[in-house]
Amino acid sequence: KVLHERGAKGARPPPTYDCVRKVTLSTMRLRVLPPAVLQDPRVESLNLDRNKLKHIPGISKLGNLRKLILSKNEIADFPEEIQSLVHLEKLELNQNQIRDLATCTVLELVSLQEFYVQNNMLRQLPRELFEGRPLKMFKAHGNPLQQPPNEVCAGGIQQILSYFSQLQNCQGEEDRRVKTMFLGASLAGKSTICKSLKQRQGNDMAKVPQWR
């Protein structure tokens, strides 16, 4: 293991390497990836947080990469370059400007277990990301999410899956005038409310009490 100490005041810390497999290039104002790093296929962990990266061309050369940290950069488009990283287990993209998750790219990450996209500009999440995947940890708070809403995402992956399942069922029973979806824990009364509403038709709908 090679250790580096911070030099003169204001100097940027040099990259650190741990048995070549772990590389840290944090807080170096990088705009492109150093060619020397991309030429080493042994790298398994790469920390690039707090730089000025917008794109990461060449990252696909690191076929053994298992951990990739890209938080606090200037990434606006989900990096399609990572789709060939089939061994990637952890991906951090917090505090960027990402507006959309490229579904096709995400689904190629077949080993992904931890995914963090907090404090971006996401409004929607693809349900395919959570269905039949090895994903165990997902964090997305700090986004203007609408589907699923932040309240659902805060409950974890199971709550997200439940949301998409209930959404699909509600779409099959969509009313011509109003689409209503009830979300909540088991035994919270959702089924009772739905049955009560279904039994009322025509003008009787106006008599339905407000549920709080």
d(CA 74, CA 32): 12
Give this prediction's pTM: 0.74
Find the DSSP H helices in the chain: 35-38, 103-107, 150-153, 157-172, 190-198
Residue 52 falls within a domain, yes or no?
yes
Question: Which residue shows structure tokens 């390497």?
Answer: 17
Number of domains, the chain? 1
Going by the DSSP 8-state scheme, the letter that residue 150 receives in this structure is: H
Q: Do the domain assignments include residue 185? A: no
Query: Which of 172, 124, 131, 174 lies closest to 152, judged by CA?
Result: 124
The dihedral region occupied by 72, where left means phi > 0, alpha psi between -120 and 50, and beta the remainder, is: left
Q: Is residue 65 part of a domain?
A: yes
CATH assignment at residue 116: 3.80.10.10
Query: Distances from the Cα of 150 to the Cαs of 30, 120, 211, in angstroms?
Result: 32, 13, 22
Q: Which range of residues forms the domain containing residue 149?
A: 16-177
Q: What is the pLDDT of residue 183?
A: 72
Is-contact 62 88, C-beta < 8 A? no
Residue 34 lies in a domain: yes
pLDDT of residue 212: 45
Beta bridge partners of 115: 91, 138
User: How is residue 208 written in tokens?
Assistant: 């339905």
Write down the pLDDT at residue 103.
85
- For the CA atoms of the chain, what is the radius of gyration? 23
Domain presence at residue 188 = no
* 184 occurs within a structural domain: no
Residue 199 domain flag: no
Q: What is the pLDDT along the chain (212 residues), one digit of tens a residue?
A: 333 333 445 555 666 555 559 999 999 999 999 999 999 999 999 999 999 999 999 999 999 999 999 999 999 999 999 999 999 999 999 999 999 998 889 999 999 999 999 999 999 999 999 999 999 999 999 999 999 999 999 999 999 999 999 988 876 555 455 656 667 666 667 777 777 777 765 445 445 455 44
Would 2 be classed as within a structural domain? no
